Amino acid sequence: MIPADAFLGPLRDAGFDFFTGVPCSYLTPLINRVISDDAYKYVAAASEGEAVAIASGAWLAGKKTVFMCQNSGLGNAVNPFTSLNNPFRIPTLAIVTWRGGPGLKDEPQHEFMGAITPNLLDVIEVPHTLFPKRLEDISGALDEATYHMDTNHLPFAFIMNKGDVMEDTLEAAPISVARAGIVEDRLDGDIPTRVDALRRFLSVVPETAGVIATTGKCGRELFTLADRDQHLYQVGSMGCAAAMGLGVALNTERPVMVLDGDGAALMKLGSLATIGAYAPDNMVHVVLDNGTYDSTGGQPAPSVAVDFAAVGVACGYAHGYRCDGMDGFEAALQSSVRRPGPHLIHLKIQPGSMADLGRPTVRPQDIARRFKEFLTS
């Protein structure tokens, strides 16, 4: 058993100061220390997959990151681990607890995941070792983790057992949001296609802004119209664009614009609460809503009744804009880069895509490094 600071001190000295995750009782001493100490930034995520995406955004903005979760939540993290961190080669130090571990009499819901935790990490090619439980093991364990992350640019995991870290108190106040957001209508009644909306977006987006486009045809259309250093096409990890945008926005002064889809936004709707809670004022979240999963053949998405602008404001965004035409969309974009956010711009668009649709020809890992260079220069 080690004190939290004995592990966190060397970790911070190695540059890791951005933490995110979802708690587990085994993690309590470590998370409590991180939350209580101003030397660290901790973002409480609504799901583990979202936390992985937040950490990835923070890495793109130049941070070294730590992701913490219960092994139950490893299932939620598998999608971004495999379709975000892996293709984009984005490392994070994962601390995963081992409920249902060997020889442990644990609750039935932890038995199966407990039995497969190391194997699951092996299958998704996340190298791992046990969390250091003795003072003399800490430095070797951190060396092993940083060696792997520096060499293969992928996540590395410590598997933590019950009682590895001594109890610690929570001294921080709860997150407080003192805002009453506003929903505004910018309606023209002339619903554009996604490609027309993206063309207009490209004509007004500040050249200083980082732009993250969601998976599917949104990123493909954006790339086909213009490939810029300020773009990141999130080719996989459906639903993670907003969380990645949050991770970037909390660690840069630049404006951060997320181009989301209605289906993708719904897949990780909890991210809106996290964005509202941490409220980065430089973040603009655009939901391009065609009411369908257009990229996979136009099947109906369950977004028909969702008022995304109102949901954003209900979650703590400063402004929500309802738009159904190009001029209102442009006005909302202009207004959102002038005023403190976060903002949610909900634009109704028509299903369908452009005729000669391309797809990013730059490798995701190169896009990630180009984007990181753009953000940090």
Ligand X SMILES: Cc1ncc(C[n+]2csc(CCOP(=O)(O)OP(=O)(O)O)c2C)c(N)n1
- Positions touching ligand X (CB under 6 A) are 79, 214-218, 236, 238, 261-264, 290, 292-296, 301
Q: How far is the CB of 293 from ligand X (least distance, A)?
A: 4
Q: Smallest gap, in angstroms, from Cβ of residue 222 to ligand X?
A: 11
Which of 20/290 has CB closer to ligand X? 290
Q: How far is the CB of 76 from ligand X (least distance, A)?
A: 11
Which amino acid does the sequence have at 193?
T
Cβ proximity to ligand X, 22 vs 53, nearer residue: 53
DSSP secondary structure code for residue 132 in this structure: P
CB of 153 to ligand X, least distance (A): 22
β-pairing, 16-21 vs 41-44, is: parallel
User: For residues 83 and 171, is the Cβ–Cβ distance under 8 A?
Assistant: no
Helix, strand or coil for residue 270? helix
C-beta closer to ligand X: residue 164 or 294:
294
Closest CB to ligand X among residues 336, 353: 353
Shortest separation between residue 86's beta carbon and ligand X, angstroms: 14
Separation between Cα atoms, residue 372 and residue 377, nearest integer Å: 8
CB of 262 to ligand X, least distance (A): 4
Q: How far is the CB of 296 from ligand X (least distance, A)?
A: 4
Residue 299: which H helix or E strand, with range? strand 299-300
Rank residues 146 and 295 by Cβ distance to ligand X and give the closer one: 295
Q: Distance (Å, rounded) from C-alpha 96 to C-alpha 112? A: 15
Task: List 322's β-bridge partners, or say none.
Answer: 185, 346
Instruction: Please tell me the distance from the alpha carbon of residue 23 to that of residue 196, in angstroms, as a whole number.
Output: 43
By beta-carbon proximity to ligand X, the closer residue of 99 and 217 is 217
Question: Rounded to an integer, what distance in angstroms lies between the CA atom of residue 237 and that of residue 302?
Answer: 19
CA distance 138 to 167: 18
279/309 with CB nearer ligand X = 309
With beta carbons less than 8 A apart as the criterion, state whether 76 and 48 touch.
yes
Helices 364-376, 48-60: axis angle to 10 degrees equals: 60
Question: Quick check: 101 and 117 in contact, CB under 8 A?
Answer: yes
Q: How far is the CB of 101 from ligand X (least distance, A)?
A: 28
CB nearer ligand X, residue 64 or residue 348: 348
Cα–Cα dist 173/225, whole Å: 46
Contact 195, 353 (CB under 8 A): yes
Residue with tokens 């099947």: 299
